[in-house]
Amino acid sequence: MVQEKDQRGLLIMRHNEKITQEIRRRIAHNKFRDHLFWIIGLLSTLIGFVVLFTLIIDLFADGFPRLSWSFLTSYPSRFPEKAGILSAWVGTTLVMIVTAAAAVPLGIATGVYLEEYSKKNWSTHIIEINMNNLAGVPSIIYGLLALGLFVYFLKLGESILTGGLTLGLLILPMVVISTRESIKAIPNSIREASYALGATKWQTIKDHILPYSIGGILTGMIIGLSRAIGETAPIITVGALTFIAFLPSSPVTSAFPFLTFKWLFDPFTVMPIQMFNWVSRPQKEFHLNAAAAGIILLLMTLVMNGFAVYLRYKFRKRIKW
Amino acid sequence: MKRKTSSKIKERAIEGILLLSALSSIFITLSIVFILFYEALGFFKEVPVREFLTGTQWTPLFAQPKFGILPLVSGTLLVTGIAVLVALPVGLIVAVYLSEYAPHKIREIAKPILELLAAVPTVVYGYFALLFLTPILRNFIPALSGFNALSPGIIMGVMIIPYVSSVSEDSMKAVPMHIREGSYATGATKFQTAFRVIIPSAFSGIAAAFVIGISRAIGETMVVAIAAGMMPNLTLNAVEPIQTLTAYIVGVSLGDVPHGTLEYKTIFAAGITLFFMTLFLNILGFWFRRRIREVY
């Protein structure tokens, strides 16, 4: 700053004035950028909402007129107005049962081992790195694994069992991660109190750790299953059929022992594959069917996600350490 | 005394079972690698690696088949590039907004809704790209063909915004408050603090988030299988139909491929290429995430 001495001192005043103005200008400029970013940030966050909203509106506009009881209770057909999703939603339900049966026990056991038993050594480290890596493997690679392993090596065929196991492997990392996180949240004092009463490690886990972390585990399981419901690629790869006009054999029979597992080995289709099949046809009428199937599929995943959020909220509220 | 030993045995047995479960994840990885390598090896016995890596034509079903992977790789990279151009800037801005600007209430509402974006089945996104976005884009870009790389790329970008934003936001939230306060005390605005202090401090986490997003985009299948066409095309022109590695695997699987044929093996050759691309990114992402913990 150049300072010129003036008898009255006015010049210095003017200099300062200039600097003050400059500072004020900069502050205003910075504040403006700050506010501008506030707006840009809000708008960017809204992009996601807008897309989600448009997508739902678009699906409903196209598919809602097709939704009816007969759409839910009909098999796919060459005639778009007669086609329905019966075999698809039954297939999805059965596949999800297998997926849950495969992923949940294995995932919880892995999570419990990693949190409660494993020592901090290199083998644990490898399991952890591996788990993170598995979570990042594209779903279609799981499809290729299942094609080689389940379909051809174990000869399980292109069956419900294969489909369910494939998706089970896919969501395993999610179940493990949520199990670990909810176990981590339990304070050590709980474990110490249990040991102090003479409980063994397994008794502590069975009677304390698992019951207290069940909320988080359930949440992870439901979110994993909701992801699995929408998965298409790996199921196509293992060879689910796109056109199925029959149901798998019923799991309940009239003769003793009333339960059979024959359905595990039946061919199947699932909701997203049915939708994919309809989208890929050139006729507009089939696109409407695809939209209707999309509505049901979207509702399934949104309801499951909503339920998971509710569970998380409820359990977080109930437990106070 | 006897009871004690029997309960000890039980404890050991349970620990053993749990350990086996934990090891199953290793088994899964090993089987992925083994099966991909085994089938791809069969493929490379018939097709030289050189032709596979440098050939510019991918026509495995023609009478005179050509097995150059480059068209599929270029298709994958093109769609991923478009998705990344959408997801990285928007994801980062959303993360900065939610972490530094948004009031608590907005954040509590915005985060679950953003996560829903990642929960929507990808086949639904495919429908949306093909039958909603493409017709709209064609009004602006007349050269756009019905199947193209642009529209699924954009939709995929939106789809992976939550992956990018949530990991970035977590790492920004992890920057200690006193660092922010130090910046405010020197008179910096929130904008300046966010871009000159928080983002550099959270760099590792943001880089990890970017890598996760890119890896998701490379592995994404259904959106491209539905909306990008099924045409192997060595191009970087986004208005043309293309085929990605993932879409090729789906396309072949839709037909009835006899086990053991060369055609059957091509999907594993495409799969192993995809696996290595994502594995590289996952390791990079893991390395970045490890660094987050070391900073503070």
pLDDT-above-70 percentage for chain A: 89
pLDDT attached to residue B4: 67
CATH T-level assignment (fold) for domain B70-295: MetI-like fold (1.10.3720)
Residue A11 has pLDDT above 60, yes or no: no
Question: How does DSSP assign A87-152, residue by residue?
Answer: HHHHHHHHHHHHHHHHHHHHHHHHHHIIIII--SSHHHHHHHHHHHHHHHS-HHHHHHHHIIIIII
pLDDT attached to residue B98: 93
> pLDDT band at A13, cuts 50/70/90?
low
From chain B residues 216-275, the ones with a CB under 8 A of any chain A CB are 218-222, 225-226, 246, 249-250, 253-254, 256, 259, 267-268, 271, 274-275
> pLDDT band at B139, cuts 50/70/90?
very high
pLDDT attached to residue B97: 94
pLDDT attached to residue A3: 56
Strand partners, B67: B58
Residues 6+ apart with CB under 8 A from B80: B153, B156, B214, B217, B218
Residue A242 has pLDDT above 70, yes or no: no
> pLDDT band at B184, cuts 50/70/90?
very high
Mutual orientation of helices B70-96 and B150-173 as an angle, nearest 10°? 40
pLDDT-above-90 percentage for chain A: 37
Domain spans in chain B, listed from the N-terminal domain onward: 2-46, 70-295
Would you call B186 exposed, middle or buried from its count of C-beta atoms within 10 A (0-12, 13-18, 19+)? Answer: exposed
Question: For residue A227, what is the nearest residue in chain B, using CA coordinates?
Answer: B119
pLDDT attached to residue B122: 93
Q: Residue type at A319?
A: I
Phi, psi of B67 (to 5 degrees): -120, 60
pTM for this entry: 0.88
Residue B183 has pLDDT above 80, yes or no: yes
Mean pLDDT, rounded, of chain A: 85
Q: Are B38 and A139 in contact (CB under 8 A)?
A: no
Integer Cα distance of A229 and A55 in angstroms: 19
Integer Cα distance of A290 and B222 in angstroms: 14
Q: Identify which of B195, B245, B177, B187 has the alpha carbon closest to the alpha carbon of residue B95.
A: B195
Integer Cα distance of A167 and A224 in angstroms: 9
Q: Is B244 helix (H, G, I), strand (E, B) or coil?
A: coil
Q: Are B269 and B60 in contact (CB under 8 A)?
A: no
Instruction: Write the pLDDT tens digit of every residue in A254-289.
Output: 666 666 667 777 888 889 999 998 998 888 888 999
Q: Are B67 and B58 in contact (CB under 8 A)?
A: yes
- What's the residue count for chain A? 321
Torsion of CA B75, B273, A171, A157, to 10 degrees: 100
**Cβ–Cβ contact B103 with A under 8 A:** no
Closest Cα in chain B, distance from residue A233 (Å) = 6
B229 Rama class: left (phi>0) / alpha (psi -120 to 50) / beta: left
Instruction: Write the pLDDT tens digit of every residue in A144-193.
Output: 999 988 888 888 888 889 999 999 999 999 999 999 989 988 889 989 99
> pLDDT band at A247, cuts 50/70/90?
confident
Q: Do B28 and A49 touch (CB under 8 A)?
A: no
Q: Identify which of A127, A129, A136 has the alpha carbon closest to the alpha carbon of residue A109.
A: A127
Q: Do A41 and B101 touch (CB under 8 A)?
A: yes
Q: Are B87 and B217 in contact (CB under 8 A)?
A: yes
Q: Are B219 and A233 in contact (CB under 8 A)?
A: no
Instruction: Write the pLDDT tens digit of every residue in B238-295.
Output: 888 999 999 999 988 888 778 888 888 899 999 999 999 998 888 888 888 777 655 5
Instruction: Write the pLDDT tens digit of every residue in A302-318.
Output: 899 888 888 888 877 76
Phi, psi of B58 (to 5 degrees): -125, 95
Upstream peptide bond of A187 is cis (omega within 30 degrees of 0): no
pLDDT attached to residue A255: 63
What CATH number was assigned to the domain covering residues A68-318? 1.10.3720.10
Residue A196 has pLDDT above 70, yes or no: yes
pLDDT attached to residue A96: 93
Mean pLDDT, rounded, of chain B: 88
Tell me the C-alpha to C-alpha distance, in Å, between residue A79 and each of A59, A261, A280, B9.
Answer: 21, 33, 15, 64
**Cβ–Cβ contact B39 with A under 8 A:** yes
Integer Cα distance of A12 and A20 in angstroms: 12
Integer Cα distance of B177 and B174 in angstroms: 9
Weakest-pLDDT range from A24-28, B76-80, B151-155: A24-28
Q: Are A238 and A71 in contact (CB under 8 A)?
A: no
Mutual orientation of helices A210-230 and A160-184 as an angle, nearest 10°? 140
pLDDT attached to residue A9: 58
Q: Residue type at B217?
A: A
Instruction: Write the pLDDT tens digit of every residue in B104-125.
Output: 998 888 888 888 888 899 999 9
The H-or-E segment that residue A13 falls in is: helix A10-63
Would you call A234 exposed, middle or buried from its count of C-beta atoms within 10 A (0-12, 13-18, 19+)? Answer: buried
Integer Cα distance of A209 and A204 in angstroms: 6
> pLDDT band at B169, cuts 50/70/90?
very high
Residue B162 has pLDDT above 90, yes or no: yes
Task: Tell me the H-state helices in B120-202.
Answer: 122-128, 134-140, 150-173, 177-185, 190-192, 199-201
> pLDDT band at A252, cuts 50/70/90?
low
Instruction: Write the pLDDT tens digit of every residue in B40-68.
Output: 998 998 888 888 888 888 888 777 788 88
Residues 6+ apart with CB under 8 A from A224: A103, A107, A171, A174, A175, A178
Phi, psi of A307 (to 5 degrees): -60, -40
The H-or-E segment that residue B88 falls in is: helix B70-96
Q: Are A209 and A191 in contact (CB under 8 A)?
A: yes
**Cβ–Cβ contact B191 with A under 8 A:** yes
Enter the ipTM: 0.89
Q: Is B7 helix (H, G, I), strand (E, B) or coil?
A: helix
* Chain A neighbors of B38, CB-CB under 8 A: 148
Closest to B119 (Cβ–Cβ): which among A47, A139, A305?
A: A305
Q: What is the mean pLDDT of residues A28-55?
A: 92
Q: Do B220 and A138 touch (CB under 8 A)?
A: yes
Integer Cα distance of B223 and B216 in angstroms: 12
Q: Do B22 and A169 touch (CB under 8 A)?
A: no
Q: Do A55 and B124 touch (CB under 8 A)?
A: yes
Tokens standing for A235? 């199921």
Q: Is B295 helix (H, G, I), strand (E, B) or coil?
A: helix
Q: Are B80 and B217 in contact (CB under 8 A)?
A: yes
Q: Are B10 and A120 in contact (CB under 8 A)?
A: no
> pLDDT band at A321, cuts 50/70/90?
low
Closest Cα in chain B, distance from residue A283 (Å) = 12
Integer Cα distance of A245 and A87 in angstroms: 7
Strand partners, B58: B67
* Chain B neighbors of A275, CB-CB under 8 A: 123-124, 127
Integer Cα distance of B11 and B167 in angstroms: 38
Q: Please count the residue pairs, one from chain A and one from chain B, whose beta carbons lie less than 8 angstroms apart.
A: 262
Instruction: Write the pLDDT tens digit of every residue in B185-206.
Output: 998 999 999 999 999 989 888 9
